[in-house]
Amino acid sequence: MYIEQLYTGCLSEAAYYIESNGEAAIIDPLRDIEEYIHLAKERKAVIRYIFETHFHADFISGHIDLGKATNAPIIYGPDTKANFPVYAAKDGEEFQLGNIKIEVLHTPGHTLESACYLLKDENGKDHAVFTGDTLFVGDVGRPDLAQKDEALTINDLAGMLYDSLQKKIVPLADEVIVYPAHGAGSSCGKNLGPQSYSTIGEEKQHNYALQPQTKEEFIKAVTEGLAAPPQYFPINAKINKEGYESMDIILEKGLRPLSFAAFKACTEQDDVIILDTRNASLFSQGFIPGAVSIGLEGRFAEWAGSLLPFDKDIFLVTEKDREKESVIRLARVGFDKINGYLEGGFETWKEAGEPIDMIINVDADELAMDIPFDEHLIPLDVRREVEFADGHVRGAVNLPLLSLSDPGSMAAIHDNDNLYLYCGSGYRSVIASSLLKRQGVHNLRNVSGGWNEIKEEGKIETEKSLEVWN
């Protein structure tokens, strides 16, 4: 028996490769399926099953393409309905994989079709459980992401989740390994732990959701304090249920090299997006006017899905040899209108003598020196509300990055305001700067190093009161 966790850090997502006696199964594959096919080929195994724990909201699964490539059935929990062929397994149904078995545990709550998969070793002993978004390390899946059913409320789903955990998960032996679909940073739970796997015993001891409590207490615990989910979640869940275009077609369109003339002609059209995926520091030094910066060095796909429209054509500016990575990571969250990249990147644009834009970077020391002498200076904190509440520059206003996809969020910005943007480390504030500039706000500076540097320098007065600009 062989188990490999295939973890994708920028999405905090875990897929799994399970193998026994030359037969393999994949659980919750990403849209780019080459890694799974290569791994099976390398290990001289045949992929027999594709198991899906639920209709994912935070990424596009590779179930359809992988099924076509391997002829393996796509298996979901009971009563699952989709716009493509799936096998809806019965609760308790077992699948033979080489010398081991995988049992379906129907665990509705995060979604109605949610299922966990219990792996039994060669001796029939429970070895590991693949919990999807039902159980995480230190947390459970949030009950507000399911496809909307007017007959069910968030409390109804939370109650189902309580029953699922108590009946299917808690009775498992303490030594059973817990392999969840996500780790820390995922928005599919409230506060996932730092580890990407655990055991039933450890979760019984440390996970708030598995502590002795009534159903009412559990419902309150899992539904309180939920932040709004990223706006692309329902889009991705729908795509995963209804089907999608092949990754080969996405790559063919997205990896078209465009000459300067072709790129300029395409991007002069209304309502197109120029997406610059270079490192934030490179972008700041010079970029195509109107381009949006989302650097590959951060949680690229999540920010793209949260900030960019899905119905607009996207044209890429990337660092050399990172075109394919940019397309794949966009496709992972459902973007399929990627129509090529500027051949030669930003240098091609600059060498053509075209206008360029820049972002002025300042450090925390310069902000400290400017604050007393500029009555129009506004420290603009683009972190989340909870981060802002925990500490910020005195007098700063909070305009979270997520809100900047809506032009109406900037109604309070005046022509004579001198904006000094900061986030945690500088990544998000460069994205925010590009969005502001795209919408005509140019009187801004980016505080490189962000809040981390501001705190470390200790030269700027801070406070913890919450004030949101709206």
pLDDT digits (tens, 9 = 90+) for 357-369: 999 999 999 999 9
Within 260-407, residue ranges assigned H as helices are 260-267, 280-285, 300-307, 323-331, 346-351, 364-370, 385-389
Question: Which of 56-87 are b and which e, b meaning 16 or more Cβ less than 10 Å from the residue's Cβ?
Answer: bbbbbbbbbbbbeebebebbbbbebebeeebe
* Mean pLDDT value of segment 261-270: 94
Host H or E run for residue 46 = strand 46-51
Considering the entire predicted model, what is its pTM? 0.93
Angstrom CA distances, 255 to 8, 60, 264, stand at: 22, 19, 17
- Residue 392: predicted pLDDT: 96
Closest CA to 374 of 342, 437, 416: 416
The CATH class of 2-235 is alpha beta
Q: Measure the CA–CA gap between 453 and 462, rounded to whole angstroms.
A: 13
- Listed in order, the ranges of the chain carrying CATH 3.60.15.10 are 2-235
Cβ-in-10-Å burial (0-12, 13-18, 19+) of 131 comes to buried
Q: Does the pLDDT at position 149 exceed 70?
A: no
The string of pLDDT tens digits covering residues 206-257 is 999 999 999 999 999 999 988 888 889 999 999 999 999 999 999 999 999 9
| CATH of region 360-463 | 3.40.250.10
Residue 17, beta-bridge partner list: 4, 26
The DSSP call for residue 61 is B
Tokens (6 digits) for 295 = 């650097």
Share above pLDDT 70 across residues of the chain, in percent, rounded to a whole number: 97
Running DSSP on this structure, what letter comes out for residue 207?
-
Consecutive H or E run containing 19: strand 13-20
Chain position carrying tokens 């030094």: 285
CA distance 433 to 452: 18
List pLDDT tens digits, range 316-327: 999 999 999 999
CATH number of the domain at 245-351, please?
3.40.250.10
Task: For residue range 41-81, list pLDDT tens digits in order.
Answer: 999 999 999 999 999 999 999 999 999 999 999 999 999 99
Segments of the chain assigned to CATH 3.40.250.10: 245-351, 360-463
pLDDT of residue 416: 83
- The packing angle between helices 300-307 and 323-331, to 10°, is 60
Question: Minimum mean pLDDT among 20-24, 149-153, 406-410: which range?
Answer: 406-410
pLDDT at 191: 85
Give the per-residue pLDDT at 470: 47
